[in-house]
Amino acid sequence: MDNTNIKEFVARHIPEATFEENKQFLSATVEPSKLHGLLKALKENPETLFDYLFCITGADVQGKLMVIYHLESTTLKHQVVVKTGTPDRENPVFDSITDLFSGAELHENEIFDLFGIIFKGHPNLRRMFMPDDWKGYPLRKDYTDEVNIVELS
Amino acid sequence: MGIKSMKETDFHVSPDTDRQKTNIVLTTVENLVNWGRSNSVWPLTFATSCCGIEMMATGASRHDFARFGVEVYRATPRQADVIIIAGTIVHKMAPVLKRLYDQMAEPKYVIAMGACAISGGPFFYNTYSVIRGADQVIPVDVYIPGCPPRPEALLYGIMQLQRKIQQGNIAAGRIEPVDPEEYPEPPKVY
Amino acid sequence: MEENTKPMTAPETEEEYFINMGPQHPSTHGVLRLLVSLQGEIVKRLDPHLGYIHRGIEKMCEKDTYIQIIHLTDRMDYLSAHMNNEAVCLLVEDALEIEVPERVKYIRTIMAELQRLNSHQLWWATMGMDLGALTTFFYGLRDREKILDIFEETCGGRLLLSYNTPGGVMYDIHPNFQKRVKEFIKYFKERLPEYDQLLTGNVIFQERTKGIGRLTREEAVNYGVTGPSGRGSGFSCDIRKKFPYSAYPYVDFKEILGVDGDALSRYKVRMEEMWESMHIIEQLIDNIPEGPYTAKMKAVLKLPAGEYFQRVETARGELGVYVISDGNKTPYRMKFRSPNMCNLSALDHISRGAKIADLVAIGASFDFVIPDIDR
């Protein structure tokens, strides 16, 4: 399927999705509550069959905490990017996708550790890289740490 | 291609390795014990990152450090003499390093290999989790600069450690530096 | 087909016992802590605890320019240092729409294949050592020193190269380069059958790796296991074939797929990959075109605002570099899709029911490099 067909497929499932296209990928932005349903449809539908999640990223873009999924199909050889975000920085909650893609378990732990995003339905959400009693989420843009970080002026 | 050997005067780099033995009378027994200790330092398998590969290359067939007495690697700190800190130390790893050092039996020595173990190295600025220098955690005897240091540099560091051991007093546990004022305090940056 | 979850022979009332493997351990290949839950000697569950070498590279990248980032990427997966550098350079060149000279593409591919050979030699050396065969350590590292001599003459470094730069390479190759590479290939072609004689046909080695750690193709796709570990299960994931870059479109090589998905099949895939790497180098080494060794670049590189993704094939799997740029000279967010982290996520599933000694064999066949997981 090429990008226009994938766009139509996503728009049929989620009419309020917004799209961007650059020379590499088509990306669709959806609300957090619709994310799990869309990824399930993209994985299981025989026209799309996106079974390989090759990158899952957390980002803090202009005040919104976002999670970005890069998907590829090993049989039909097309790629798509799905993004979701929330402006709520106190209690950002997204659905976990470990039931669809088991490899996302460690990655969602990493995103929770570095950004503070909570994944509902994750079997074992815990801090992965930082020590267990660390305060704060280091990769957020408003993270300051006078003791540990030495700035290069 | 001939290998040029170093002059003996090039080894006299610090007062620690060449102190004048005016106030310590070293008997033959002490000489013998120090000779035995220096020629048989067995390290602990401790490698956190890239310098570990150069340490393995030093132990392999081309730059063999078994000919300096570093015969085998011991996997447990209870049986090791020296801990070669090869790699960056981060906040989560520091208590582990301290515990390993405490578990080693006296006399024990520490070599800080590579820029990361000396002072944080390339990870000095802009990061929240690196400890800038392993000597913030445990006392270090020999520093080997480089990123990563060549195997020949690690061999030179081991030879300097051997010279330092040969000056030591068998009654004391640690080898004290000659004049503490000569070595300034490291900057307190965690 | 043999299941690797053998039936538990111990009684169900025996309590579970947790032990720690690592962080300081001679065969975890870095600082990896595995919390293993045992019943007797059978592994019931496995929990990886990471972060013992987390240096915050992604946060550092937000304050560094693109040329400075190349020196940090060296230190992530240090046994594929060249491919990591190449990924960032290709991303910058793609985004700024710069065409590199042909000579650069050939040099980059030859260096990448030498780096892959180098990494597989070290993997073979340590796999034998983990299973108890110390001879392989000395043989593998002896041959690896020859490649490191070639690197040192041209790039200046043995392990951490930083030879690639956006637009080309830092210096031209040394005049002795082609001669030494050809001599090395002639030498290594006689050594590789020796490796097979030593380990592959050995009865003890086969007993310890055949049928151990079986990963099916669907599981490999689900967990995202790529590289030789994924190809050992039949998952065709070679980026050099799917999205060719540098000089890979000009060479002819096979993608090697295994069938069984166990540790022995991953081992065989890597041994065959060493032959294929030498085949690729032979096709390129005599035909390096003349020309400049770098394109003309501005002093300060600013990527236009937008998102960019570059995928390369390192010695352990697919590395992805994802940049969100807002037009400045430093990236807004830089993420590295690490191949070792995805490979590690499958370790829990495939080692259930194995014994502890099998866990070492499975870990060795996956070939982890832990600083790449923690970044």
CA of B129, closest CA in chain A: separation in Å?
Answer: 7
Contacts of A152 in chain B (CB under 8 A): 125-126
**C-alpha to C-alpha distance for C172 and C187, rounded to whole angstroms:** 25
Return the percentage of chain B with pLDDT > 70, whole number: 74
- Of the CA atoms within 13 Å of residue B104, those in its CB half-sphere come to 26
Contacts of A139 in chain B (CB under 8 A): none
**C-alpha to C-alpha distance for C214 and C226, rounded to whole angstroms:** 15
**C-alpha to C-alpha distance for C211 and C1, rounded to whole angstroms:** 10
Question: Touching C: which chains, 3+ CB pairs < 8 A?
Answer: A, B
Amino acid (one-letter) located at C138:
F
The answer to whether the Cβ–Cβ distance between C55 and B88 falls below 8 Å is yes
User: How many CB atoms sit inside 10 A of residue B179's CB?
Assistant: 10
**C-alpha to C-alpha distance for C152 and C304, rounded to whole angstroms:** 36
The answer to whether the Cβ–Cβ distance between C341 and A52 falls below 8 Å is no
The answer to whether the Cβ–Cβ distance between A129 and C54 falls below 8 Å is yes
**C-alpha to C-alpha distance for C338 and C318, rounded to whole angstroms:** 8
Among B44, B15, B32, which residue's Cα sits nearest to residue B166?
B32
The reply to whether A24 touches chain B by the CB within 8 Å rule is no
Which of C31, C322, C368 is the mutation pick for testing A, counting most A CBs within 10 A? C322
Q: What is the pLDDT of residue B183?
A: 52
pLDDT of residue B184 exceeding 80: no
CA of C198, closest CA in chain B: separation in Å?
Answer: 18
Name the phi and psi angles at A128, rounded to 5.
Answer: -105, -50
Helices in A14-140 by DSSP H: which ranges?
35-44, 104-115
What lies within 8 Å, CB to CB, of B188 at 6+ separation is none
The answer to whether the Cβ–Cβ distance between B90 and C54 falls below 8 Å is yes
pLDDT of residue B176 exceeding 70: no
pLDDT of residue B188 exceeding 70: no
The reply to whether C344 touches chain A by the CB within 8 Å rule is yes
**C-alpha to C-alpha distance for C89 and A8, rounded to whole angstroms:** 35
* Mean pLDDT for chain B overall: 79
Among A138, A95, A136, which residue's Cα sits nearest to residue A119?
A95
Amino acid (one-letter) located at B32:
L
Q: Which of C309, C332, C374 sits opposite A24 (nearest CB)?
A: C309
The answer to whether the Cβ–Cβ distance between B127 and C56 falls below 8 Å is yes
The reply to whether B93 touches chain C by the CB within 8 Å rule is yes
What lies within 8 Å, CB to CB, of B67 at 6+ separation is none
Q: Between helices C81-96 and C102-130, what is the axis angle to 10°?
A: 150
The answer to whether the Cβ–Cβ distance between B62 and C137 falls below 8 Å is no
- Per-position b or e across C139-172, b if 16+ CB within 10 A of its CB: bbbebbbbbbebbeebbebbbbbbbbbbbbbeee
Q: What is the pLDDT of residue B190?
A: 43
Write out the H or E segment, with its range, that includes residue C40.
none
Return the percentage of chain A with pLDDT > 90, whole number: 7
Residue B6's pLDDT band, with cuts at 50, 70 and 90, is low
Structure tokens at C214: 């079986």
Structure tokens at B178: 């000659």
Give the residue-averaged pLDDT of A29-41: 87
pLDDT of residue B60 exceeding 90: no
Is residue C268 within 8 A of residue C126, CB to CB? The reply is no
What ipTM, to 2 d.p.?
Answer: 0.92
Q: What is the pLDDT of residue A75?
A: 86
Q: Which of A74, A106, A138 sits opposite C341 (nearest CB)?
A: A106
Q: What is the pLDDT of residue C116?
A: 93
Q: Which of C23, C63, C78 sits opposite B93 (nearest CB)?
A: C23
pTM: 0.88
C-alpha dist (Å) from residue C3 to C261, C353, C358: 12, 10, 15
Is residue C146 within 8 A of residue C158, CB to CB? The reply is no
CA of C8, closest CA in chain B: separation in Å?
Answer: 31
Q: What is the pLDDT of residue C119?
A: 92
* Residue labelled with tokens 């067939």: B61
The string of pLDDT tens digits covering residues A36-88 is 888 888 888 888 888 899 889 999 888 888 899 999 888 888 888 999 988 88
| Torsion angle of the four alpha carbons C340, C345, C346, C349, in this order, in degrees rounded to the nearest 10 | 150
Residue B2's pLDDT band, with cuts at 50, 70 and 90, is low
Q: What is the pLDDT of residue C10?
A: 41
Q: What is the pLDDT of residue B22?
A: 42
**C-alpha to C-alpha distance for A55 and A27, rounded to whole angstroms:** 13
pLDDT of residue B152 exceeding 60: yes
The answer to whether the Cβ–Cβ distance between C141 and B60 falls below 8 Å is yes
**C-alpha to C-alpha distance for C151 and A96, rounded to whole angstroms:** 45
Is residue A71 within 8 A of residue A52, CB to CB? The reply is yes
Name the phi and psi angles at B86, rounded to 5.
Answer: -110, 100
The reply to whether B148 touches chain C by the CB within 8 Å rule is yes
Residues 69-88 on A with a CB inside 8 Å of B are: none
Name the phi and psi angles at B121, rounded to 5.
Answer: 65, -140
Q: Which of A145, A147, A151 sits opposite B125 (nearest CB)?
A: A151
Name the phi and psi angles at C128, rounded to 5.
Answer: -60, -40
Structure tokens at B71: 């015969």
The reply to whether A67 touches chain C by the CB within 8 Å rule is no
* Mean pLDDT for chain A overall: 86
Among A32, A71, A31, which residue's Cα sits nearest to residue A51?
A71
Residues 3-42 on B with a CB inside 8 Å of C are: none
Pairing of strands C306-313, A26-30: unpaired
CA of A10, closest CA in chain C: separation in Å?
Answer: 21
Q: What is the pLDDT of residue C86?
A: 92
**C-alpha to C-alpha distance for C258 and C252, rounded to whole angstroms:** 20
Digitized pLDDT (tens) for each residue of chain C, 375 residues in all: 333 333 334 444 457 788 888 787 876 678 888 888 888 888 888 888 888 999 889 888 888 888 889 988 888 889 999 999 999 999 999 888 888 899 999 999 999 999 999 999 999 999 988 888 888 899 999 989 999 999 999 988 888 888 988 988 988 888 889 999 999 999 999 988 988 888 888 898 888 888 888 888 888 898 989 999 999 888 888 889 888 988 899 899 888 898 888 888 999 999 999 999 999 999 998 888 888 888 888 888 888 888 999 999 999 999 999 999 988 888 999 999 999 999 998 988 888 888 888 888 898 888 889 899 988
Q: Which of C54, C221, C349 sits opposite A52 (nearest CB)?
A: C221
- Of the CA atoms within 13 Å of residue A33, those in its CB half-sphere come to 1
Q: What is the pLDDT of residue C288?
A: 87
Q: What are the CB-based long-range contacts (under 8 Å, 24+) for C199-205? A: C199/C124, C199/C128, C199/C133, C199/C136, C200/C267, C200/C268, C200/C271, C202/C133, C205/C131, C205/C133
